[in-house]
Structure 1
Amino acid sequence: MSHRLFVALASLGMATITYATTPVLVIHGGSGVIKRDMTPAKEKAVRAAMSKALLDGYAQLKAGKPALDAVTTALTVLEDDADFNAGKGSVFTHDGKTDMDAAIMDGDSLRAGSVAGVHRVKNPILLARAVMEHSSHVMLSGDGAEAFAKEQGIALVDPSYFHTDQRWQQLQKALKEDAAKQPHADVATAKHFGTVGAVALDSEGHLAAGTSTGGMTDKRWGRIGDSPIIGAGTYANAQCAVSGTGWGEFYIRTVAAHEICMKVSMLNEPIQRAAAEVINQEIPSMGGNGGAIALDSDGNIAMPFNTDGMYRGWIGADGVPHVAIYDDEPDPSNHAQPPAEASSAD
């Protein structure tokens, strides 16, 4: 039985039974070659930030707010943390600039908003939501997107806000390797990973998905990845919500997020199988890699990835944030909501 809101209205004298949805929030902070070489302090800080994102987002759901609020709240926390490649922690382009993308989608209405190539927007996910809610468009880019941000009162900051020594040194290393015509030896400096994402199910049974990224270190020519492309790195409908993280070109070519949701909503595949088929079979068969988080309307979670690790977390009926990083940490591979409690009134 679906755990979306269901009300059985009976004739006089019979019970009225309400089945309520238990809210769920799932997040990721990127996938890739994630080794156990972080300092204990760094790992503690990363796990704490993800726990905060889960708790703050889930508080929105517990207060009866829509899934969109949980997604934007959780992603804002991660965008404000320099340990993640989005917002404050965005990597630098070949020209030494930040070039950020974000997208959000409401599964109930299929409304969506996204931004690409913004340089001064403190929280790109908030601008993506403003595009969805306060414009007639889906995607805005560059200077036009920032002009819209100013009109909407979305915070703009000086580019120096995004300058962190860690990201700057990654660029300097990449530029030296470029000059020597060498491949990027350090995967933290390499090109394919670095995203934050969230998917949520609210008490009304509605789903939403959002993704935000600083892109790739040393990227050129205004490259745009999958994150802001609706259907590629971000998608939600009434039955499924997905946020991807990985080698964006392959997520675009497979329309990965949309394909997962079509397998769930049109072919009635379990979300774990649908997500694994796309992330761990189709994308690698083409030469790509990465991961994703996916959530269905019954609260089932999938977190497939084919890399050494993926920063990931989830929170549900127990109200406790669960965070994992490495490939040998447990996932809620069959995390279904418990049977909903029925309330009746004669």
Structure 2
Amino acid sequence: MKSRRLWSLFAALGLAASAHASGPVLVIHAGAGVLRRDMPPARDKAIRAALTRALEAGYAELKAGKPSVDAVTASLTVLENDPLFNAGRGSVFTHDGTLEMDAAIMDGYTLRAGSVAAVSDVKNPILLARAVMEHTPHVMLVGAGAEAFAQAQGIAREKPEYFRTEERWQQLQQALKEDAAGRPHADADTARHFGTVGAVALDVYGHLAAGTSTGGMNDKMPGRVGDSPIIGAGTYANAGCAVSGTGWGEFYMRTVAAHAICSRVMQQRVPIARAAAEVINQEIPAMGGSGGAIALDDQGHIAIPFNTHGMFRGWIDGSGKPHVAIYGDEDDGTGELLPAPAPDDAASDD
């Protein structure tokens, strides 16, 4: 039965909604993973409040007639500043106890893009990624070169203690103990990915943009770069589609996930909810990966597929009403649940 599929270990949930054509649309995420109903109420409330603040910041830009890249930047700056999430302040640590943050932004109208990787002291990596897009002939800057560019651009930088949270530090210590004992990490989702933030937006001019920011994997090898700053893997936008992913980045890179979704939408004319579910809920799990994504087309149709227990997510459609959700059984009246794991096999249900 379809209901049983939705509650299997990797039951894939897809949310789809149609926005009013006359209004702007904003969708955000803050990571997918093991999100159970036993989360402390205070933390649940804090996460929902943070998602709402990020939505309000981005949507204010859209309502003021600003371009979609401004909305994406505004929302992600709020999330990077909140230690609850694995981006900016609150980023996870590498195996050596250092910080290496990644971010990317893409303007779907112009196909301009900017990204940064392995930066350790930039307060808001998304602002630096945007500066790369707007003030250099390049798409990606990494490490010391990216930090020097941040200094030249007057982009805020912080000392290591600004980014550190005790929760992230203890996650690393637990992982190191398990590494030393030769045991797999007890919390595989925490070990791999958790809390990457992203946004996609449609402005009043019908232009799309996407952005993603992350601290990467807990206990990752120094120098590891995931999908978030890779244009086409974790972040992509064009004239008709915008995508930001969150999950086990190596699989998003191997499937070029964000671009694959947009290719289905633009070239094969597949509806965005189905296109996103095919990549996120079929291709990536088939290879052994997990995670989710947010996707938006130029008509304001939203897709939020994920193949984990939950995903921090929020959206404001053309009606202007904000929605936030965490768990896999929340749909908040936004639309239908897509069959899992394959969105095109509903006819074979028994």
Task: Supply the distance in 2 between the matched residues of 1:109 and 1:70 (Cα, whole angstroms).
Answer: 16
Task: Supply the distance in 2 between the matched residues of 1:118 and 1:141 (Cα, whole angstroms).
Answer: 7
Tell me which amino acid in the other structure corresponds to 1:296. D
1:241 maps to: 242
- For the pair 1:305 / 2:306, whether they are aligned, the reply is yes
User: Superposition pairs for residues 59-70 of structure 1, below 5 Å?
Assistant: 59-70=60-71
Residues 94 and 222 in structure 2, CA contact (< 8 A), matched pair in contact too: no
2:162 maps to: 161
Runs (4+) of structure 1 exceeding 4 A deviation are none
Task: Supply the distance in 2 between the matched residues of 1:125 and 1:238 (Cα, whole angstroms).
Answer: 21
- For the pair 1:286 / 2:287, whether they are aligned, the reply is yes
Q: Secondary structure at the match of 1:101?
A: strand
Q: Secondary structure at the match of 1:89?
A: coil
The alpha-carbon deviation at position 160 of structure 1 amounts to: 1.1
Task: Supply the distance in 2 between the matched residues of 1:221 and 1:321 (Cα, whole angstroms).
Answer: 38
Tell me which amino acid in the other structure corresponds to 1:284. P
Tell me which amino acid in the other structure corresponds to 1:232. A
Q: Secondary structure at the match of 2:191?
A: coil
Tell me which amino acid in the other structure corresponds to 1:118. V
The alpha-carbon deviation at position 98 of structure 1 amounts to: 1.1
User: Superposition pairs for residues 150-189 of structure 1, below 5 Å?
Assistant: 150-187=151-188, 189=190
1:8 maps to: none
Change over 3 Å in CA distance of 1:273–1:188 after alignment to 2? closer
2:317 maps to: 316
Residues 91 and 215 in structure 1, CA contact (< 8 A), matched pair in contact too: yes
User: Superposition pairs for residues 331-346 of structure 1, below 5 Å?
Assistant: 332-333=334-335
Residues 215 and 225 in structure 1, CA contact (< 8 A), matched pair in contact too: yes
1:196 maps to: 197
Q: Which runs of 5+ in 1 are unaligned?
A: 4-18, 336-346
Task: Supply the distance in 1 between the matched residues of 2:277 and 2:100 (Cα, whole angstroms).
Answer: 30
The alpha-carbon deviation at position 317 of structure 1 amounts to: 2.5
Task: Supply the distance in 2 between the matched residues of 1:138 and 1:204 (Cα, whole angstroms).
Answer: 25
Per-residue CA deviations over 1:267-299 (Å, capped at 9, x if unaligned) read: 111000100000001111111111000000000
Name the TM-score, length of structure 2 as normaliser.
0.89
Task: Supply the distance in 2 between the matched residues of 1:162 and 1:227 (Cα, whole angstroms).
Answer: 19
The alpha-carbon deviation at position 318 of structure 1 amounts to: 2.6
Q: Which runs of 5+ in 2 are unaligned?
A: 1-17, 338-350
Residues 94 and 218 in structure 1, CA contact (< 8 A), matched pair in contact too: yes
Name the TM-score, length of structure 1 as normaliser.
0.90
Per-residue CA deviations over 1:95-141 (Å, capped at 9, x if unaligned) read: 11111000000000000000000000000000000000000100000
Task: Supply the distance in 2 between the matched residues of 1:155 and 1:161 (Cα, whole angstroms).
Answer: 12
Residues 193 and 247 in structure 1, CA contact (< 8 A), matched pair in contact too: no
Identity of aligned residues (%): 72
Q: Which moved more, 1:316-325 or 1:164-173?
A: 316-325
Residues 303 and 333 in structure 1, CA contact (< 8 A), matched pair in contact too: no
Task: Supply the distance in 1 between the matched residues of 2:313 and 2:109 (Cα, whole angstroms).
Answer: 25
Per-residue CA deviations over 1:240-259 (Å, capped at 9, x if unaligned) read: 00000011000000000001
- For the pair 1:262 / 2:263, whether they are aligned, the reply is yes
User: Superposition pairs for residues 1-346 of structure 1, below 5 Å?
Assistant: 21-187=22-188, 189-330=190-331, 332-333=334-335
Task: Supply the distance in 1 between the matched residues of 2:336 and 2:306 (Cα, whole angstroms).
Answer: 15
Tell me which amino acid in the other structure corresponds to 1:65. K
Superposition CA RMSD, Å:
1.7
Tell me which amino acid in the other structure corresponds to 2:28. I
Pair member with larger Rg: 1
Task: Supply the distance in 1 between the matched residues of 2:192 and 2:57 (Cα, whole angstroms).
Answer: 31
Task: Supply the distance in 2 between the matched residues of 1:298 and 1:41 (Cα, whole angstroms).
Answer: 37
Tell me which amino acid in the other structure corresponds to 2:319. D
Tell me which amino acid in the other structure corresponds to 1:53. A
Task: Supply the distance in 2 between the matched residues of 1:54 and 1:330 (Cα, whole angstroms).
Answer: 17
Task: Supply the distance in 2 between the matched residues of 1:320 and 1:333 (Cα, whole angstroms).
Answer: 15
The alpha-carbon deviation at position 334 of structure 1 amounts to: 6.6
Residues 24 and 317 in structure 1, CA contact (< 8 A), matched pair in contact too: yes
Residues 174 and 189 in structure 1, CA contact (< 8 A), matched pair in contact too: no
The alpha-carbon deviation at position 77 of structure 1 amounts to: 0.4
Task: Supply the distance in 2 between the matched residues of 1:213 and 1:333 (Cα, whole angstroms).
Answer: 29
The alpha-carbon deviation at position 193 of structure 1 amounts to: 3.3
Tell me which amino acid in the other structure corresponds to 1:235. Y
Aligned residue pairs: how many?
319
Higher relative contact order (CA 8 A, sep 6+): 2
Per-residue CA deviations over 1:294-331 (Å, capped at 9, x if unaligned) read: 00000000000000000010002232210000000006
Q: Secondary structure at the match of 1:189?
A: helix
Tell me which amino acid in the other structure corresponds to 1:130. A
Tell me which amino acid in the other structure corresponds to 2:105. I
Task: Supply the distance in 1 between the matched residues of 2:318 and 2:268 (Cα, whole angstroms).
Answer: 28
Tell me which amino acid in the other structure corresponds to 1:132. M
The alpha-carbon deviation at position 163 of structure 1 amounts to: 1.1
